[in-house]
Structure formats: C-alpha cells, structure tokens
Amino acid sequence: MQNQTLWLKSPAAIFTGNALNAGNGLVIKGNKIVELVPSGMKPKIHVDSYIDCSNQVVTPGLINTHHHFYQTLTRAVPGALNKPLFPWLKYLYQIWKNLDEEMIYTATQLAGLELMLSGATCIADHHYVFPKGLEQAIDIQVEAINSLGCRATLTRGSMSLGKSKGGLPPDSVIQDEDTILQDSQRLISKYHDNSDDGFIQIALAPCSPFSVSTTLMQDTAQLAKENNVMLHTHLAETEDENNFCMQQYGMRPLDYLEHCDWLGNKTWLAHGIHFNQDEIKRLGQANVGIAHCPSSNMLLASGICPTVELESAGCNIGLAVDGSASNDCSNMMQEVRQSLLQQRLRYGAEVITAKRVLGYATTGSAAVLQRPTIGMFDIGMQADLAIFSLDELRFSGVGSPLDGLITCGASHVDKLMVGGNWQIENTEHCALLSKQIMDKHQYLAKKLQSQNFVL
C-alpha cells in the first residue's frame, strides 16, 4: 500500500501518547501517519480504504527496552526457582554456558514473536553470554529479527570478569576485553542503522558491575562515544549489587558508573531500583534512561523502581519485560498492567494512571531508546501501531475502553503494523510462524536444560 491511504476509522478509544485529538482515527500512507482525525470529523485527505475500529482500541506500537531473548529457553527451571538474583544467576550460568547458534536464533524468534503478539513493534535485547562457538550471536539475532519484521535495538553485551578474578559468572562464558571491543566495532559498522526510523540499531552493553572489568566499562564508553551509539547495562537491581560494588570498588554502583564515564543521555539502565535521593538527582541531570521491569523485580523480590522520583528528576522511563528466566513471559501489555499495579502501591491510585503506564511503554520507551519517530501518533511519525479487539469476555461491559485495556488485562493484539506493513492480522503473524518456531523451541529448551553441569 505504498501510495494508498488507509483510515483506521472511529476507534472505541485511541491513545496518541500526546495531547493531540485523534478521536476519529488515523490516516496512514506508505510507512507514515499523514493525518489525525479529531472526534466528530472526517479525514481531510482522500482515503482509498478504511478499517472500522469501533470495537477496538488503537495504541502506538509498544516498545520493550530490556530483555534477554535466550532466557526463553530456561523459563521456570526447577533449580533456579524461589531464589534471589545472585544464587539464581549462579545456577543458570551453568545451563547458559551450553547455548549454541540454533538456540539463540530460535529463542530470538520466539521472544520477538511473543512480544509482537502482545503489541510490541520495537524490541531491545541484551545478549551477554558468549561461550565458545557462539561468537556470532548478534549476527544470528539480526537474521532472526529480520524474519519477524519488527524493529530492534540489539545490544552487544559482554562479560569479562569471571569467577577466577572475583566476578560472578564461570570463566567459560566470558571473553577478553580486546575480543569484545573488536566485535563491538564490527557489529556497529555492519548493522547499526543510525537513521531516525532505522529498523536495526546496535548499542553496547557490558552486563553489570559484578561481571565486567573496570577497563572494559571505560573502553566501552569510549567506543560508544566514537560511534555515537547508546550504552546499556543493569544497575541498582539489588542490595547485593550495592554491597558487591562497595567491597570490590569501594563505591556505590552509581559512583562506579560515573567513575567509568557512563553518566550521560546516551545511557539507559535496566531496573534502577536502589538509588538514594542524591543519586536520583544526578541521574536526572544527566538524562539517563531507565528500563522499568516490574514483573522481574517482583519475581526476584528485588524491589520497586522509584519511577515518579526518577521522572521528576529528568530521567526518561521506559517499560521492559526483562529476560524470560525472571518474568517468565514476554508480554508487553501484561507488563503495562503490572506497572500500574506495582507502582500504585508506592504512589497511589491518583498518580499512577492507565495513560501514565501506557506512556512508559510507548513515548517513554521511545525516548529511552532515542527513537524519535515512534512511540506516539503525530503527522510524519512512523506507522507503528497496535490494535486490540474488545470482542472478548474480559472486556464485556467496559466503561472506559482505554482504562479497561489495562485493568481488564488485554494480552494480545488483533493487528500489528510496523512501518506501514501489517505483521500481525487476526492475532497471528502474517508469516504463520508461531507453530513451527514453538515446536523447535521446545525441543531446544529440553536439550539445553538436560545437559549435565557442575555447580
């Protein structure tokens, strides 16, 4: 439909992500939004076709800011259940060290598909496990994402501080600094599309303070600066991490981050829970982005992200499902609901509204990933959108369809458009990928979890 115009007509509700009125829908031409139609009005431009959305809710495509796709192969693994972060990680590293290329391809496809079915049009992943034989992990992920038709920010993760040097991961899953930096440069040169509407973008992402050397943190920041790409890591997820940083480096995680030259607007952090007031102020002044991961933080009992304080200080807040070993699903709409419920406990019902948490998953996430042409509806923005049908028992009798989308628990889209192309119609990926990917994924998950390991 390159030159055709399409009107998404009269939605039951629409979330634009800004103050604009699109009560009577949107007009799309090619890969862009060309008109917002206010309530009671008709489009000014000629429309070639329309879709009646009177029983549907339309939102900008949701944007997931943090994940570990490979972890879909280790969901609810018995030996890792009911453990906090550090012992949970130590157990799972012993399984993850056996990941291979087929596994990373299939896990990326499955997680991507799961996210898209839940409304996501742009997804970020943080892959940091590089055992022998998996040196091409990010190349494989690019190929897998291209088969799905969504946008992605793939981060070249890394771990260089193995157990023998005081780190947490086993030595077999880490790489040396030179290898990591050379591969990071190679991936940026090969895949990073720095245009505003780029489909694949690359960012650099040392795993966390407890698995990466100080030199690697500093050199990665320098490399990111030279290439004008973003930086990402886990930070302030647990009190254990604070204690680790005090013992290992003599400073708290944020001081350590600053020491490594990471405090700036090209950095986004996963979790961001255990900060004091002064740290929140410094993060806001530097415009650091936060990937808020409520389900994972509750499952691992890590804590509650202080979203409102961080936002008031100047941080962008995006939403994320986190890896599938600590969620264990990759459903963005359910994550929006989790954020609403969790954050209300801290800030109250008047402060945490449906619009606010939907904003985290759209405009907030787009700002975190620095993608200026997605995350809201306006003329000239990319046609990335999710359409949820209200034709389900859970929505029957709903008063406010937009609020009900979250409080009644929407979990899957009816249709999903990325850059003007339908990728999901009638709740199924247009390439009919679900069944074939799932069969292969289940086989590989069984294979990975059954391999012998030594703790």
Residues in contact with Zn ion by the rule CB under 5 A: 270, 322
Contacts of 25 (CB under 8 A, 6+ apart): 7, 8, 9, 10, 11, 14, 37, 43, 53, 58
Whichever of 323 and 404 has its CB closer to Zn ion, that residue is: 323
Please, what is the end-to-end C-alpha distance for the chain in angstroms?
Answer: 55
Contact between 377 and 36 (Cβ < 8 Å)? yes
Virtual torsion, Cα 125, 130, 133, 135, nearest 10 deg: 70
CB of 269 to Zn ion, least distance (A): 10
Nearer to Zn ion, 311 or 322 (CB): 322
Is the Cβ of residue 270 or residue 357 nearer to Zn ion in the bound state? 270
Nearer to Zn ion, 334 or 423 (CB): 334
Locate 83 and state its tokens: 């453990």
- In whole angstroms, give the CA distance from residue 17 to residue 309: 21
Instruction: Identify which of residues 114 and 322 has a Cβ nearer to Zn ion in the complex.
Output: 322
CB of 292 to Zn ion, least distance (A): 12
The set of residues, in sequence order, having a beta carbon less than 8 Å from that of 79 and lying 6+ positions away, is 91
From the CB of 320, what's the least distance to Zn ion, in Å? 8
In the complex with Zn ion, the residue whose CB is nearer, 235 or 381, is 235
Alpha-carbon span 248 to 52, nearest angstrom:
60
We find the least distance from the C-beta atom of residue 68 to Zn ion, in angstroms, to be 6
- State phi, psi for 27 to the nearest 5 degrees: -115, 135
Distance of CA 161 to the CA centre of its chain: 25
Beta carbon of residue 21, minimum distance to Zn ion (angstroms, whole number)? 38
Report the C-alpha gap between 378 and 299 in whole angstroms. 37
Compute the least distance from the CB of residue 313 to Zn ion, in Å.
23
